[in-house]
A and B are shown apart, each in its own frame.
Chain A
C-alpha cells in the first residue's frame, strides 16, 4: 500500500492509469457477472425449489417490516402536507399528494432500501460464506453451476416479489395517511378514500411497480455479486455484506432518478 502511494506520488500518470484500469476491471467484472446471471435466469432448467424458498424469504417474510415502514411514512407524509398546505389554505389536497407521493416515489424507494438492508446483505453474507468455506468451488467440482443454483433464483425472486411488496406498501402507506387524517386532521375517511381513488391514475401505480422491479434486480444482483467476489474469509464476508448494502442504496437512488425522468417526461 505504502509502495503504491509512493509510486503514484512519483508518477501521477501511473496513478491515473491504475485507477482507470481498476474502474474498467470493475465494470467488466460486473457486466460479465450480470450477463452470466441473466443467462442463467432466462434458460431452463430453473431451480424452482430454491426459487420458491427465495420468494418466501425475500417477499413474504419482508412483509412486516415493509408494512410498518409504509404505514409510518404515509402518516408522516400526511401530517407534513397538512402543515405545508395550511400555509396557503390548501389542506384539502392531502389525500391527493399522499397518494401520489406514496405510489410514485416512497413505496418503491423505501421498500427497496429496507430490502437492501434485509435481503441484499443477507444474500452477500450467504454467498460470501460459501465462497469463504470453498462451497462454491465444491459446487463447481460437482458440475453444479452456482449461477443456476444460487444466483438466478435470487435474482428472479427479487424481480418478482419487490413489485408485489411495493403494491402492498402503496396500500398500507395510503391507509396510514388516511388513518392519521381521519383521526387527527378532521378528514372524513370516506371522502379521503374517494379523493384518492378518483385522483390516482394507472400510470402512478404502474410506474412505482416498474421501479420496484428494477430495484429488486439491483439489490439482489449487488448481494450476489459482492458475495460471489468476496475474498478473505470472515472479514471478507462482512465487507461483502456492507458493500452490497451500500452499492444497492446508491444504485437504487441513481436509477430512481433516471426512471423518474423517464416516467415524468411528457
Chain B
C-alpha cells in the first residue's frame, strides 16, 4: 500500500494539533511562579467559587494569579496567596474584591489601586478586601422578605 505524501503530512498535522491542544489543556490553570513575580496575601470572608489558578486583574487587565487558597483556622477567614507580576506595583491601601467574569466566566480577584504613598511589599497583605457575593443568598433574602403591604383578604363566594 503506497500512500501519497500529502496524506502523511495531514496525518502528522492532526497528531501535532492534538498534542498541542493537550499541552494547552494541561498548561491552563498552572500557576507561573518564580522569576518576575512577587507574592502578597489577602484575607476574605468568602471566596465563593474562586480556585487556585484564577486571574488577578487590575482594571480588567491580568496582572497575576491566585496561587493558593487556605483557611485561617482561628478566624475562619480564607487566605489567598496571590502571585503578581513584578513590574506591577500597587499602593498599600488597594482593595481586593472577589468577582466574576460575566455569567459564563469563572471567579477572579479584581484589585482597585488605592492612593497611598507607600506600596505593597512582596509578602505583604492587602488589608481592604471584599469577599464574593453570595447570589443565591441574596435571592433567598429577597424571596423570604415579608411583603410590606399584605394583600387584603377578599371574601370570595
Chain A positions near chain B (C-beta within 8 angstroms): 53, 56-57, 60-61, 63-64, 66-67, 91-92, 167-168, 171-172, 174-175, 186-188, 190-191, 193-198
Find chain B residues with CB under 8 A from A193 CB.
Answer: 24-25, 28-29
Bound CA–CA A196/B25 (angstroms): 8
9 contacts between A and B (CB under 8 A): A57-B1, A60-B8, A64-B11, A67-B17, A167-B18, A168-B15, A174-B21, A194-B53, A198-B29
Which of A63, A187, A198 contacts B14, CB < 8 Å?
A63
Q: How far is the CB of A198 from chain B (nearest CB, A)?
A: 8
Find chain A residues with CB under 8 A from B51 CB.
Answer: 198
Bound CA–CA A197/B51 (angstroms): 13
Shortest Cβ-Cβ A-B pairs, 4 listed: A67-B14, A63-B11, A171-B18, A63-B14
| B22 interfacial contact with A, CB 8 Å | yes
| B7 interfacial contact with A, CB 8 Å | yes
- Interface window among B73-81, B99-107, B113-121, B137-145: B99-107
Find chain B residues with CB under 8 A from A187 CB.
Answer: 104
Chain B positions near chain A (C-beta within 8 angstroms): 1, 3, 7-8, 10-11, 14-15, 17-18, 21-22, 24-26, 28-29, 51, 53, 101-106
Find chain A residues with CB under 8 A from B103 CB.
Answer: 91-92
Closest to A179 in B: B21
Q: A168-B18, A172-B17, A175-B17 are in contact. Are A197 and B28 (CB under 8 A)?
A: yes
Closest to B103 in A: A92
Q: A193-B28, A194-B29 are in contact. Are A64 and B106 (CB under 8 A)?
A: no
Contact between chains at B21 and A175 (CB < 8 Å): yes
Contact between chains at A188 and B101 (CB < 8 Å): yes
Find chain A residues with CB under 8 A from B25 CB.
Answer: 171, 174, 193, 196-197
Contact between chains at A194 and B11 (CB < 8 Å): no
Contact between chains at B1 and A91 (CB < 8 Å): no
Q: How far is the CB of B106 from chain A (nearest CB, A)?
A: 5
Closest to A194 in B: B29
Bound CA–CA A188/B102 (angstroms): 10
Contact between chains at A197 and B10 (CB < 8 Å): no
8 further A-B contacts with Cβ under 8 Å, apart from A64-B14, A91-B104, A194-B53, are A53-B1, A61-B3, A168-B14, A172-B17, A175-B17, A188-B101, A198-B29, A198-B51
Closest to B104 in A: A92
Which of B11, B14, B28 contacts A172, CB < 8 Å?
B14
